Amino acid sequence: MDSIPYDMKFLKTHEWAKKDGSLIIVGVTDYAVEQLNREIVYVELPEVGCLLKKEESFGLIDAVKAASDLYAPMSGKVVETNTEAMVNAAIVGEYPQNTGWLIKIDPSNPAEWDDLLSPAKYKALIESGEAH
């Protein structure tokens, strides 16, 4: 696993978060889509303006064989969704940590950033074999 960027933080449910000024960009991890053989066929995302609570479900990604819920790494308002990913879900399978990002959140409690898993802890989680 060489694809855990140092500037991201993580949920154990395999969502990543990254700072973009005062906003937070959210996506699913490369490890998570690899488990789905990168065959993502559909992404459902919330409306812009929607309020999310930390660790609450905000959408889903559907792969050929199974669907997975998506969880918010931080509380806040959805200020942008990746419309490209909604039209062409395959980019989430190919570039989940880049152009396949999902939503941008304006965080209501920036301190929640500190609760997220560090790259080292996320790496340890997926290498422990206990990740699902």
Partner 1 sequence: MKRTPVYNWHMAHGATMVAFNGWEMPLYYHGITEEHLHTRRSASLFDLGHMGRIAVHGQDSLDFINWLTPAAFNDAQPGDVFYSFLLDEAGHTIDDITIYVGRETQMLVVNAGNHDEALAWILEKAKGWKSITIEDKSFTWSMMALQGPSSGKIIMSLPDAESAKSLPYYKFMTFKKCDRWPEMIISATGYTGEHGYELYMPCDSALKVWEVLMDAGAGGIVAPAGLGARDSLRLEAAMPLYGHELNNNTTPLEAGLRKFIDFKKSDFIGRDALCAVEQSGEPKQKLVGFEMNQRGPVPRPGMKVLSFTGEPLGEITSGIFSPTLQKNIGMAYITSPETKVGQEIHLDIRGRNYPAIIVKRPFYKRMK
Amino acid at 23: L
Which position among 42, 48, 56, 121 is part of the footprint of partner 1 (CB under 8 A)?
42
Asked if residue 56 binds partner 1 (CB under 8 A), the reply is no
Residue 117 one-letter amino acid: L
Among 37, 83, 98, 109, binds partner 1 (CB under 8 A): 37
Q: Is 80 among the residues that bind partner 1 (CB under 8 A)?
A: no
* Gap between the Cα atoms of 123 and 121, Å rounded: 5
C-alpha–C-alpha distance, residues 127 and 108, integer Å: 32
38 interacts with partner 1 by CB under 8 A: yes
Kindly tell me which residue out of 34, 44, 55, 84 binds partner 1, with binding defined by CB under 8 A. Answer: 44
Nearer to partner 1, 65 or 132 (CB): 65
Enter the tokens of residue 38: 């990168």
Phi and psi torsions of 33, nearest 5°: -70, -30
Alpha carbons 121 and 5: distance in angstroms, whole number: 12
Residue 48 makes contact with partner 1 by CB under 8 A: no
| Beta pairing partners, 107 | 76
List contacts with partner 1 (CB under 8 A): 37-39, 41-42, 44, 60, 62, 64-65, 67, 86-87
